[in-house]
Amino acid sequence: MITTAIIHLATSVLSWVLALLPSWSLPDWVDSASSTLTNVLSGVGALNYLFPVGVLFLCVGVCFSAWLVAFGIRIGRIVASFLTAGGGSAA
């Protein structure tokens, strides 16, 4: 009961804080855009016999992930450059 009470208190406080934010609803265009994207990508996926679309998707995802990793590394280097312990400027 103690753990449950703590979890309840924590979630309640968090919910209360979140409830202070303005209430939004999911815009309608998101669903339509998602549906359109699904249709378009389904059509693109049907081209897999002509072109390795699946491999293309994978490669684009890998490149994007690598870019994100590089972005994190850059941020880390910039933050580290402000430490007195050392580290050079990333700029």
Side-chain half-sphere exposure of 39, counting CA atoms within 13 A: 5
What is the per-residue binding string for another protein in 9-48, x denoting contact by CB under 8 A? x-xxxxxx-xx-xxxxxxx--xx-xx--xx--xxxxxxxx
Least distance from C-beta 82 to another protein, angstroms? 15
Q: What is the 3-state secondary structure (H, E, C) of 24-69?
A: CCCCHHHHHHHHHHHHHHHHHHHHHHCCCHHHHHHHHHHHHHHHHH
Least distance in angstroms from the C-beta of 42 to another protein: 5
Residue 79 sits in the site that holds another protein (CB under 8 A)? no
| Distance linking the first and last C-alpha atoms of the chain | 53
Interface residues with another protein (CB under 8 A) are 1-5, 7-9, 11-16, 18-19, 21-27, 30-31, 33-34, 37-38, 41-59, 61-63, 66-71, 73-75
